[in-house]
Amino acid sequence: MSKNRQEILKKAASTYRESLRKSLEHRLEMARNQGDEKLVRQLEAEANYLHIN
């Protein structure tokens, strides 16, 4: 695989993970604001599973 293609794939993976992180942070914030502790725990577990915490 060419070096350029590897860099593009790394950038895409990084961008995807950052998007996941931002989405998860937003969902956590909303769940906390609504006082939904069950959802907060689920989202925290998701963050741990994805190593985004």
pLDDT at 52: 86
Cβ-based neighbour number of residue 43 at 10 Å: 19
pTM of the predicted model as reported, rounded to 2 decimal places: 0.80
Mean pLDDT, the chain, whole residue set: 95
- Going from N- to C-terminal start, the domains of the chain cover 3-50
pLDDT above 80: residue 1: no
Task: Name the DSSP letter for residue 43.
Answer: H
Under DSSP, the state recorded for 35 is T
Q: Is 12 helix (H, G, I), strand (E, B) or coil?
A: helix
Average pLDDT over residues 23-45: 98
% of the chain exceeding 90 in pLDDT: 91
* Length reported for the chain: 53
Residue 41 has pLDDT above 90, yes or no: yes
Confidence of residue 18 (pLDDT cuts 50, 70, 90): very high
Q: Contact 52/20 with Cβ under 8 angstroms?
A: yes
